[in-house]
Amino acid sequence: MAELRFDPINRHTVVIAPERSKRPKDEFREKTAFSKKCPFCPGNEDQTPPENFSNGDNVNNWTIRSFPNKYPAFSQLDENGISGIQDIIVESDKHDINMGDFPLSHLKELFQVYKKRLESIKKNKTIKFILIFKNHGVMAGATLEHTHTQIVGLSFVPRQVEKTMQKLKKHFDEEKQCFYCRLAEQSTVIFENSSFVLISPREARFSYETWIVPKKHQMHYEEITDAQLADLSELISKQINTLNSMLDNPAFNIVLNNGLYNQDNNRFFHWNIQIIPRIYYQAGFELGTGTFINQVEPENAVLELKQNAL
């Protein structure tokens, strides 16, 4: 029952999604390995919609599983002709584990699941845009603490993404080079391996915001190779642990920006991942001006992140 509304004056887009207000909210507790009440914990599989992926061989013998979001902002096909697919990927069978504590092999398997789910969802030819993101901690918007990733597939391209794509195409046409390829080449690197660079853009909106950019020009995440999956796991594990140590286990978002689907050629796009610590709140100034306030100069964030890298 989602309705999409665009404010022609302030140029922001809103999803009116009353259904989402009904979703349960955790009272965040002391750490526990298992929570009886948690719908994402093993044994409580009947509290979620039927799964569309599981790495286990029976219903509760799994370490990663995925299913449709029970409280979607977008329904499958609504009267406004907007269709959406919303999945939850439970990243671990352990209730209280932090992504930084995942064994690398488990993290790699999770990133392989991202690829599988994208390959499955994009078969739906009405889907034009798929966002994979993770909210960790209350300040990052998590309402359930059990570590999980969300996937949203939409039959339309959000306006801000559309504008970004136009800018990237213009850059590609004028400079004869992909914006992200250039960024990967020219930025001060915090960390790199064979497949990726970790950088902090000079226009970072949030303190210690970093971007992971593949060295190879790839439009869609699902082009990722097995070697890249291993390198991505190494890099994300390292960066989450560095942030956990520097900022005392902050809330954070992970946002995977991916190429569009079922659209004309968009070879000018280059998938990337943003890791965004959420250590303060957006306030009246941001609301009144649309301008972010970043309290840490990104050039200094780069230095600090390098010095503190684990």
Map the footprint of a copy of itself across residues 118-137, applying CB under 8 A. Answer: 131, 133-135
Closest CA to 269 of 143, 197, 161, 156: 161
Say how far apart CA 108 and CA 131 lie, in whole Å: 19
Q: Which two tokens stand for residue 235?
A: 């890099």
Binding mask 211-250 for a copy of itself (x = CB under 8 A): ----------------------------------------
Query: Nearest distance from residue 115's CB to a copy of itself, in Å?
Result: 18
Please give the residues from 145 up to 174 whose contact with a copy of itself meets the rule CB under 8 A. Answer: 150, 152, 158-161, 163-164, 167-168, 171
Q: Looking at beta carbons only, is 19 or 109 nearer to a copy of itself? A: 19
For residue 199, what is the enclosing H or E element?
Answer: strand 196-199
**DSSP assigned state of 149:** E
Task: Verify binding: residue 68, a copy of itself, rule CB under 8 A.
Answer: no
Task: Verify binding: residue 141, a copy of itself, rule CB under 8 A.
Answer: yes
Q: How many residues does the chain have?
A: 310
Exactly one of 201, 215, 266, 309 binds a copy of itself (CB under 8 A); that residue is: 201
Query: Nearest distance from residue 194's CB to a copy of itself, in Å?
Result: 26
Task: Verify binding: residue 73, a copy of itself, rule CB under 8 A.
Answer: yes
Task: Verify binding: residue 254, a copy of itself, rule CB under 8 A.
Answer: yes
Return the range that interacts with a copy of itself (CB under 8 A); candidates 6-14, 41-49, 60-68, 218-226: 6-14
Q: Which two tokens stand for residue 175?
A: 């400079």
Say how far apart CA 309 and CA 191 lie, in whole Å: 8
Binding mask 268-307 for a copy of itself (x = CB under 8 A): ------x-x-x-xxxxxxxxxxxxxxxxxxx-x-------
Q: Please report where in the chains the tokens 């739906």 appear, as a residue.
A: 124
Q: Looking at beta carbons only, is 205 or 216 nearer to a copy of itself? A: 205
Say how far apart CA 4 and CA 23 lie, in whole Å: 20
List the 272-278 sheet strands across, edge first. 53-54, 65-68, 84-90, 148-154, 129-136, 251-257, 272-278, 210-214, 196-199, 191-192
Return the range that interacts with a copy of itself (CB under 8 A); candidates 11-19, 102-110, 114-122, 219-227: 11-19
At 183, which amino acid appears? Answer: L
Q: Which two tokens stand for residue 194?
A: 């064979």
The answer to whether the beta carbons of residues 145 and 28 sit under 8 Å apart is: yes
Task: Verify binding: residue 5, a copy of itself, rule CB under 8 A.
Answer: yes
Q: Looking at beta carbons only, is 195 or 274 nearer to a copy of itself? A: 274
Say how far apart CA 20 and CA 132 lie, in whole Å: 18
Say how far apart CA 260 and CA 125 lie, in whole Å: 12
Query: Nearest distance from residue 33's CB to a copy of itself, in Å?
Result: 26
